[in-house]
Amino acid sequence: MHRSRNGSRTFAEFFAGIGLVRVALERKGWSAKFANDIDPLKAEIYRHNFSEVEDKCLVIGDIHKLNASLVPMVDLATASFPCNDLSLAGARSGLAGQQSGSFWGFIRILREMGKRRPGLVLLENVTGFLSSNGGKDFFDALQALNKLGYFCDTFILDAVNFVPQSRARLFVIGIGDSKLECAVHEAYRFYESSVRPAALADFIFSHPGIRWSIRDLPCPPSRKIFLQDVLENIPHDRKDWWNTERASYLLSQMSPKHAAMARKMISGQKYSYGTIFRRVRNGKSMAELRNDGIAGCLRTPRGGSGRQILFKAGKGRYYARLLTPRECARLMGTGETYKINVPLNQALFGFGDAVCVPVIEWIAENYLNPALNESAGRAITSTPLARI
């Protein structure tokens, strides 16, 4: 595993989106040298936040058509590739799907980089990746990294440990250092922990043919903030809030269980807050309320169902509106300096496809930085490269 000559930590990010991986890694001492994404609307948000675009750090285009020679030598390559075909809510076409299949474009780039290949790789996707096609897609992805000389580790982190948003994601780290390999031979579920639940621990144990490098990781932190802490103070007479008729219709879409929750909030002596997603149940659009101080997972607003609704109630009244882009940014842990200079839907799409910043910071602090330091001066494993 090589280190940059000046001792800095460098990375290239693929499927860069609006740049939240970059936000996180830069906070932990990393420097971006290259970025790629296919979506010009997300790239517009990226450009608003990073001045290096003028140096062509960001290349817009299909990864399948990207020339590997454009990617500089870096310590780390990250890939938050599309989840559309891996999500439980999607078509479940897996890595053969048109969207999630772009993973193979990333693998091609790594293969064609040859000896310039980064010593570390970080993948991010939905937890459905683990079970997609009966686990075959996950196995194939890990095996692809193995064939490129990487040993693999994997874990699951939920953004809810850092911010008031439920957003569990599966991570894979590829380590190009043979001295960090470990054999899988311990007792059943030996690898189970706060970041490796039973299903993931079972996968590790039942696939000893994968070249693993499992790192002991600490428990994620305990979140200290709640939904109401990230909300903007928007007066009730602002047009952001829905009119009485629209808010009443939303209430009428609730099941008896959720309507009872809403009524309890309305009768409260002070205002409380919840979030609502519309979902189709038995062919009927239903409004599902969550009022535990945690927002649902931010999603891309396709067909309207992906828009998360804020429900404010108390003192005999209730109000409803969409979450604002700034509230979404706070739910992703960006900090207040992140710039949002685009229309509402464009911003919601960007945040819905993004990563939670403090989650990536935690990974950098507890995994990437130590792994790079431990491997300083070592070369990437000389295992012969197999064609994929």
pLDDT in tens, 341-357: 999 999 999 999 999 99
User: What pLDDT does residue 183 have?
Assistant: 57
Instruction: Identify the band that residue 8 occupies on the pLDDT scale cut at 50, 70 and 90.
Output: confident
The CATH 3.40.50.150 domain(s) of the chain lie at 9-222+355-374
Nearest to 18 by CA among 50, 49, 42: 42
User: What pLDDT does residue 283 have?
Assistant: 84
List % helix, strand, coil for the chain (3-state, nearest 5): 35, 20, 45
| Structure confidence by residue, pLDDT tens digits, 130-173 | 998 888 999 999 999 999 999 999 999 999 999 999 999 999 99
d(CA 289, CA 262): 8
Amino acid at 84: N
Whole-angstrom CA distances from 198 to 122, 156, 184, 241 are 22, 11, 15, 43
Q: Who has greater pLDDT, 56 or 23?
A: 23
| CA dihedral of 71, 74, 76, 79, whole degrees rounded to 10 | -10
User: What pLDDT does residue 59 have?
Assistant: 94
Tokens 């919601």 belong to residue: 348
| Structure confidence by residue, pLDDT tens digits, 258-314 | 999 999 999 999 999 999 999 888 888 899 999 999 999 999 876 556 789 999 999
Looking at residues 20-39, what average pLDDT do you find?
96
User: What pLDDT does residue 388 have?
Assistant: 29
Beta-sheet pairing, 168-175 with 76-79? unpaired
d(CA 213, CA 231): 41
Q: With contact defined as beta carbons under 8 Å apart, do 177 and 375 qualify?
A: yes
Instruction: Count the residues in the chain.
Output: 388
Amino acid at 186: E
Strand order through the sheet with 317-322: 284-290, 272-281, 309-314, 317-322
User: What pLDDT does residue 364 have?
Assistant: 98
User: What pLDDT does residue 73 have?
Assistant: 96
Amino acid at 340: I
Q: With contact defined as beta carbons under 8 Å apart, do 38 and 63 qualify?
A: yes
User: What pLDDT does residue 86 have?
Assistant: 61
Cβ partners under 8 Å of residue 237, min gap 6: none
The CATH homologous superfamily to which domain 9-222+355-374 belongs is Vaccinia Virus protein VP39 (3.40.50.150)
Both ends of the chain: CA-CA distance in Å? 22
| Structure confidence by residue, pLDDT tens digits, 356-380 | 999 999 999 999 999 998 876 444 4
Looking at residues 77-96, what average pLDDT do you find?
68
How far is C-alpha 252 from the chain's CA centre? 33
| DSSP per residue, 187-239 | STTTT-SSSS-HHHHHHHHT-TTS-B-----PPPPPP---GGGG-----TTST
Looking at residues 321-326, what average pLDDT do you find?
96
Q: With contact defined as beta carbons under 8 Å apart, do 15 and 35 qualify?
A: no
User: What pLDDT does residue 377 have?
Assistant: 45
Q: What are phi and psi of 320, to 5 degrees?
A: -145, 145
User: What pLDDT does residue 385 have?
Assistant: 30
Q: Is the pLDDT of residue 186 over 60?
A: no
- The tokens for 178 are 């043979």
Its sign, for the CA torsion 201, 205, 206, 208, is positive
The whole-model pTM stands at 0.91
User: What pLDDT does residue 50 have?
Assistant: 92
Cross-strand bridge partners of residue 330: none
User: What pLDDT does residue 220 have?
Assistant: 96
Mean of the per-residue pLDDT values of the chain? 88
Q: Is the pLDDT of residue 40 over 60?
A: yes
- The tokens for 51 are 């001045």
Cβ partners under 8 Å of residue 283, min gap 6: none
| Structure confidence by residue, pLDDT tens digits, 218-268 | 999 999 999 999 999 999 999 999 999 999 999 999 999 999 999 999 999
- Percent of the chain surpassing pLDDT 90: 77
Exposure string for 40-57, b = 16+ CB within 10 A, e = fewer: ebbbebbbbbbeebeeeb
User: What pLDDT does residue 374 have?
Assistant: 86
| CA dihedral of 41, 364, 325, 84, whole degrees rounded to 10 | 50
